[in-house]
Each structure stands twice: as C-alpha cells, then as structure tokens.
Amino acid sequence: MDKVVATALEAVADVPDGASLAVGGFGLSGVPNVLIGALYERGVAGLSVVSNNCGAMESGLAVLLAAGRIARVTGSYIGANKEFARQYLAGELEVELIPQGTLAERLRAGGAGIPAFYTPAGVGTQVAEGGLPWRYDGSGGVAVASPAKEVREFDGTEYVLERGIRTDFALVRAAKGDRHGNLVFNKSARNFNPLAAMAGRVTVAEVEELVEPGEIDPDAVHLPGIFVQRVLALTPEQAADKKIEQRTVSS
C-alpha cells in the first residue's frame, strides 16, 4: 500500500517515447513541475499530452514543448504561449482544441469507466460538424482536420457525442498526500488535477506535504488513493517554488 517513490526520475522511469499523458494544472496553478522536469531530464519525446493548456512563462509543459518533445496536445486553451501557437500554425504540432467543460468531463468520464457521453456544447459548430484544423501543413493549409461527431436529439435538444479520455500516465500536483495516495488540493490548484489523475492508467502525484495514512480526515480527501499509483514527496524548496503569472499590487 505504500506508494511513495524516492525520486522524480524513479517516478517517471517507465514513461516511454510516444506515451499519452494527462497533466493537471491551469496556467501556473497546480502544475506538476518536478515530474515534468524529470521527463525532460530523461529525454522522453513524441508525447501526446492532454491538459487544459501547454504551460506558461517557460514553465510546466512549456519546457517539453520548447524542446520539441510533444507531438500532440488535446486541450482547451493556447493563451499567451507563443511557442505553442507557433508550432501549431507551422504544422509542427497536432492540436485538438475542445470546449473546456467538455475536456473536464471527458477526463472524468474516462476515469469513471464511461466510454462516451452527450453534451450540448459544440452543437452547430465545427466541434460537432468536423473540419477544425488539428494539424496545419506549414503553408497555411490544413493537413489533418477533426472528423464529424454523432449528433442526437433528446427532448427536442441536440447533443453531440464526446468520447471519454484515458491516457497511459497522468501527472498531478497536490498540497497534501498520504502514503496510500489519498490527495488534498489547495483551493484553485485543484483545477484539472483530480480529473487528470482519474484518466491515467498509471497516475503519479507530487505532493507538497507527505503525511501518514489516517492523518487526512476521510471527509477532507479530494481524490481517493484508488486513482493514484505513485506518490513523490517534494522537498521544501520544490514545494515553495511557485511562480505568479500576473502579479498585482494593491495601493
């Protein structure tokens, strides 16, 4: 039952080239930077990543992206990541952009064993009808476009069928975790982390504070250990290393 691993490199030692990863975080909040850094150090490449965005301010997944280690991104937000936009428009990166709520539910559904579900989000658009550019050809044309999806009517309203997402691995960050993998997230850092953890067949969690089993009130657990296979306890320095995307100062 003790799922603690000694080092970040050990935690991701079996992630191969071409693996699919669900990665928690939103912007700079709740991003498993230490585990991502270990993947970079190992030189893993050709990754298919499922995450809300692909890093920001040269941190998080942006480290792997800039090194050319990511082949495909499924997400909902490019944001201010200029390298993400450049690679996508240049045809170097395949990108599936989907509505943010749909992304969250696709991850949750995959983790819950639900193969697909219907949602009204995207009906009447290219999300449902197909034709969204997944990969450009480098000269402005579309090399790969999204396929059309099944649309069905329920009680007079149309819904589009979306597939649940399962990935080979998942990387998440939690404020607190025990040796059995039960996790607690801090406020907005919860974001996509529980959902990403559910979607991974092997989920690795880096935790800012490691506690013994029983020290977390069962009613306070945000994600039960059944979804977590490995736990990495961060050093105090690693836990405190948190960047601020938009610093504001009140007068």
Write a three-state SS string for the chain: CCCEECCHHHHCCCCCCCCEEEECCECCECCCHHHHHHHHHHCCCCEEEECCCCCECCECHHHHHHCCCEEEEEECCCCCCHHHHHHHHCCCCEEEECCHHHHHHHHHHHHHCCCEEEECCCCCCHHHHCCCEEEECCCCCEEEECCCCCEEEECCEEEEEEECCCEEEEEEEEEEEECCCCEECCHHHHCCHHHHHHHEEEEEEEEEEEECCCCCCHHHCCECHHHCCEEEECCHHHHHCCCCCCCCCCC
Instruction: Please give the pLDDT value at position 145.
Output: 97
Topology given in CATH for the domain delimited by 4-115+164-240: Glutaconate Coenzyme A-transferase (3.40.1080)
Instruction: Please give the pLDDT value at position 251.
Output: 82
Instruction: Please give the pLDDT value at position 9.
Output: 98
The domain segmentation of the chain, as residue ranges, is: 4-115+164-240
Per-residue pLDDT of the chain (251 residues; tens, 9 = 90+): 899 999 999 999 999 999 999 999 998 999 999 999 999 999 999 999 999 999 887 889 999 999 999 999 999 988 888 999 999 999 999 999 999 999 999 999 999 999 999 999 999 999 999 999 999 999 989 999 999 999 999 999 999 999 999 999 999 999 999 999 999 999 999 999 999 999 999 999 999 999 999 999 999 999 999 999 999 999 999 999 888 777 888 88
Instruction: Please give the pLDDT value at position 248.
Output: 85
